[in-house]
Amino acid sequence: METIHKPIIGDSRSMKDLADKSIDLVVTSPPYPMIEMWDEIFSSLRPSIKSLLAKGEGSRAFEAMHEILDTTWEECYRVLKPGGFACINIGDATRTIKKNFALYTNHARILTSTQKIGFSSLPCILWRKQTNAPNKFMGSGMLPAGAYVTLEHEYVLILRKGGKREFTREADKINRRQSALFWEERNAWFSDVWFDIKGTVQSLGDKTARKRSAAYPFELALRLINMYSVKGDQVLDPFLGTGTTMAAAMAMGRNSVGYEMDPSLGPVISAMTKTVVGSAHQAIQQRLVRHISFVLERMEAKGPLKHQNSHYGFPVITAQEKELLFNLPLKIVQSPDHKYKATYDKLPQKEFCRDWSQLLQGKEAGKIINAMKKTKTSKNGFTQEELF
């Protein structure tokens, strides 16, 4: 099993390297209009934006910034296959311009634009960003009629091109079943509010790169890729940044391509590829540990489960989970043309392949539950002995 990943230094408003209907999934986080750190980028693409901000014309500047993004959304629609999804992580903005404090609803503006292009808008996700800010309000503090509610969440907009994706060939059906989610993951991930994902520090150690990036959490990209694609699919990030989406695609056995206008981020993306194997092992181990812990607690409360996974041997809630299989990336190699090739293990992780039917019903099941709850995975993973 192999996947190919291609970062492109270029403008996603013209993705001429990509053919029509060649992409299965878009996962991205664009520059946020009306967030001050992005003013320079937007103004470099449309100089009138700088003068609009200087004049205090916030609404017009907001619209001009989104018109730049609109062209990329049109390109995403062009390259997506029918039935393909676009997941856009975006936050609204608050800003004071000429003493006028206002909210700029980026998520609503993108939804309006993408629906005009032809996308169908599906229920979105709110993810609550954990914050350690000492002041949880803006404005006049404790005095009525002067304080403003703080923004502590971002949106993941879920868009689809056309109708439901079909899997008609038997090989595609098998691949889809092997790409399944655990029942308990499906329940948590397809909730419309996420509280358990931490934000990502947006600083870069490379002094030649821009001081801040639009980086979003690896876990967020990982979830979306698992929710809306299958192994071997082609994932696009038109605002690649530091390469988080590409890293998640590598970790989960998807192909990927990404566009990034800032050439100074090239070395950052390259450095990212050197950490993917470890991050993928950790993420997959965590998913397996969480499932086993869930199964133990479920069986303790409600008795034996009906189904069993054919690769690992542990119980699962539904028949759709019986063929679920994780493929660990083994290595990632860069080619002379700046593409990256990832190779994967075809076999299930041997430390999780056990006679679970006997183990989980034995006297030691309670001890295993407690051990699972206390297990902390490190960057180097853990051994079978540490788990069991």
Secondary structure of 94-120 in HEC code, one letter for each residue? EEEECCEEEEECHHHHHHHHHHHHCCE
How many residues belong to the chain? 388
- Whether 109 has a pLDDT exceeding 90, the answer reads yes
Could you report the per-residue pLDDT of 43-97, keeping only the tens digit for each? 999 999 999 999 999 999 999 999 999 999 999 999 999 999 999 999 999 999 9
Could you report the per-residue pLDDT of 208-230, keeping only the tens digit for each? 444 444 578 999 999 999 999 99
Could you report the per-residue pLDDT of 116-157, keeping only the tens digit for each? 999 999 999 999 986 655 556 666 677 787 778 888 899 999
Query: How far is Cα 244 from Cα 87, in angstroms, rounded to an integer?
Result: 14
User: What is the pLDDT confidence band of residue 388, given thresholds at 50, 70 and 90?
Assistant: very low
pLDDT of residue 199: 62
94 phi and psi, to 5 degrees? -115, 140
157 phi and psi, to 5 degrees? -80, 130
> 68: helix, coil or strand?
helix
User: Which tokens is 325 given?
Assistant: 């299989």
Residue with the two structure tokens 């676009």: 86
- Whether 347 has a pLDDT exceeding 50, the answer reads yes
Question: Would you say 33 and 65 are in contact if contact means Cβ atoms under 8 Å apart?
Answer: yes
pLDDT of residue 291: 94
User: Which tokens is 382 given?
Assistant: 């853990």
Q: Give, in order, the Cα–Cα distances in Å from 230 to each of 26, 103, 167, 185, 227.
A: 13, 37, 11, 16, 8
Buried-state track 258-281, b at ≥16 Cβ within 10 A, e below 16: bbbbeeebbebbeebbeebbebbb
Strand locations in the chain (E)? 2-9, 23-28, 80-90, 93-97, 100-104, 120-128, 153-160, 193-194, 234-237, 255-260, 307-308, 315-316, 329-334, 340-344
Q: Give, in order, the Cα–Cα distances in Å from 123 to each of 46, 114, 166.
A: 32, 14, 20
Task: Specify the CATH class of 13-133+147-216 in words.
Answer: alpha beta
Pairing of strands 340-344, 329-334: antiparallel
pLDDT of residue 132: 54
Please state, rounded to an integer, the average pLDDT across all residues of the chain: 89
CA atoms within 13 A on the CB side of 37: 11
Residues 6+ apart with CB under 8 A from 365: 296, 299, 300, 359
pLDDT of residue 240: 96
Could you report the per-residue pLDDT of 181-207, keeping only the tens digit for each? 999 999 999 999 999 887 654 444 444
pLDDT of residue 204: 41
pLDDT of residue 139: 67
Beta bridge partners of 351: none
Query: How far is Cα 250 from Cα 335, in angstroms, rounded to an integer?
Result: 15
Residue-range domain boundaries for the chain: 13-133+147-216, 278-387
| Residue with the larger pLDDT of the pair 39 and 148 | 39
Question: Would you say 225 and 237 are in contact if contact means Cβ atoms under 8 Å apart?
Answer: no
Q: Give, in order, the Cα–Cα distances in Å from 257 to each of 8, 23, 145, 311, 317.
A: 7, 9, 49, 31, 35
User: Which tokens is 178 given?
Assistant: 């092997």
| Residue with the larger pLDDT of the pair 379 and 315 | 315
Could you report the per-residue pLDDT of 243-293, keeping only the tens digit for each? 999 999 999 999 999 999 999 999 999 999 999 999 999 999 999 999 998
Average pLDDT, integer, range 159-187 = 97
User: Which tokens is 135 given?
Assistant: 């002041």
User: Which tokens is 137 given?
Assistant: 């309000």
